[in-house]
Structure 1
Amino acid sequence: MPFAVKSCFDVVLWFSDKALNDNEYIQPQKLHRLIFLAQAYFSVAYPGRKLMPATFVTDSFGPVEPTIFHALAYGRPPMLDPNPMPDQVAHFLEGIWRRFGAQTADQLTRKLNEHPAVAAAMNKGLNEEIPLAAMVKYYVDLAKAAQGGDGPAAAAEITKVVKPRLMRSQGGKAVAVTAWAPKALGKKPE
């Protein structure tokens, strides 16, 4: 399945610009935590899809995306312009920002370093890959625990981030709008 955006730089620039528009300086460590959360939550909200082509590895402080880490070591490159962001992805990133943007880099780092996927990779050492499947499993398990093990696997946790958009019906009534997602089909009998 294709990525939702062409490059992890598009997501980084979106968060950087969002912070700038909110008159906030975004620390590099906070930026890495936000893109980590965005990747994990997106793959839970849209099963089988990745938000961006990115790999997260352990650093002495927590998870980082090494390409972003290297490219932005001395600040935002002057010639880097983002690709247009699809509306669905921009709405999703708004939810990540709304939920986690007010937290400090230290708060996000502490939270993420307690996640089993991150902790397991950090126990192996620096530059260990944090598998996306393990990231997703943590959030799905968290949602199941919040719901007592019943119901849609990740609905409770994901709705905290991905709130439906409100639009107006023909009669002017506010209606919640979400993207259509087909139901998973069971295995066909052989």
Structure 2
Amino acid sequence: MRPATRSTFDILYWFNLKAAESGRPLETAFLIKLLYLCQALHAASHQQQKLMPATFLSTEAGPIEPDAFLALEHGFELSTAVAPSADVEKTLNTVWQICQDKSLTELDFILSFDSALKSASARGRNAEITIGEMAGAYKNGGPLSRNEIAFNKFPDGSEVATKSSNLEAAPNAGQEVRFTADGRSVTKWAPTKRVSAKS
């Protein structure tokens, strides 16, 4: 099936314009992940049609499009680009609205729920993430549609209390606050009464 745009660089050009308008510089890793999300979301809603003629691989750092990555790392960018169609721009706007205020860490957290990425990773280092896997993973929005819920959970899936602190009260000078590996706060506590066994 024919891709909806001629090149990944037309899409990168669009994102760089949006970034310039918002005053936010976008690093290479962030841009590559935006490309991946656009490809996946478009494939999910357009019968597995590619948004751009790009191949994404699964790496430890997340999805990567090798040609676009190398070009960006060496400072290549288009001076002019072919404008996206209205249908393509709808996909781009959806991804931009969800991700524009996210950090790279938050984007990686969203991608941690990506079943296409997990399937490709299981096949080995730098395995291709197929367009069919992307379409399946992002049906009805996939991880993008539930990312706000995901950010309110600990890694084990338990809910984070967002309306009030999970400390009973602010610690006094004699208490020490520590954090567990999953981010929960723990306050050192000592009993106020001594318990003695009956003789």
Is the TM value for this pair above 0.5?
yes
Verify the 8 A CA contact 1:32 1:64 in the aligned structure 2.
yes
Question: Once the 2 structures are TM-superposed, how far is the Cα of residue 78 of structure 1 from its aligned partner?
Answer: 5.2
Verify the 8 A CA contact 1:33 1:105 in the aligned structure 2.
no
Question: Once the 2 structures are TM-superposed, how far is the Cα of residue 68 of structure 1 from its aligned partner?
Answer: 0.3
**CA root-mean-square deviation:** 2.0
Aligned partner of residue 57 in structure 2, secondary structure? strand
- With 56-65 and 119-128 compared, the bigger mean Cα shift is at 119-128
**Percent identity, aligned pairs only?**
29
Q: How many residues get paired?
A: 143
Question: Once the 2 structures are TM-superposed, how far is the Cα of residue 113 of structure 1 from its aligned partner?
Answer: 3.2
For 2:36 and 2:90, locate their aligned partners in 1 and report how far apart those are by CA, in whole Å: 17
Question: Once the 2 structures are TM-superposed, how far is the Cα of residue 56 of structure 1 from its aligned partner?
Answer: 0.4
Residue in 1 that maps onto 2:64: 64
For 2:48 and 2:119, locate their aligned partners in 1 and report how far apart those are by CA, in whole Å: 23
For 1:63 and 1:113, locate their aligned partners in 2 and report how far apart those are by CA, in whole Å: 11
Unpaired runs of 5+ residues, structure 2, are 146-199
Residue identity in the other structure for 2:121: M
Residue identity in the other structure for 1:96: V
Q: TM-score, normalised by structure 2?
A: 0.65
Residue in 1 that maps onto 2:135: 136
Aligned partner of residue 14 in structure 2, secondary structure? helix
Matches within 5 A, 1:67-78: 67-75=67-75, 77=76
Residue in 2 that maps onto 1:38: 38
Q: TM-score, normalised by structure 1?
A: 0.68
Residue in 1 that maps onto 2:189: none
| CA deviation string 1:90-125 (max 9, x = no partner) | 232112101222211111122213312212322444
Matches within 5 A, 1:1-190: 1-75=1-75, 77=76, 80-140=79-139
Verify the 8 A CA contact 2:32 2:64 in the aligned structure 1.
yes
Residue identity in the other structure for 1:83: V
For 2:21 and 2:2, locate their aligned partners in 1 and report how far apart those are by CA, in whole Å: 30
Unpaired runs of 5+ residues, structure 1, are 144-156, 158-190
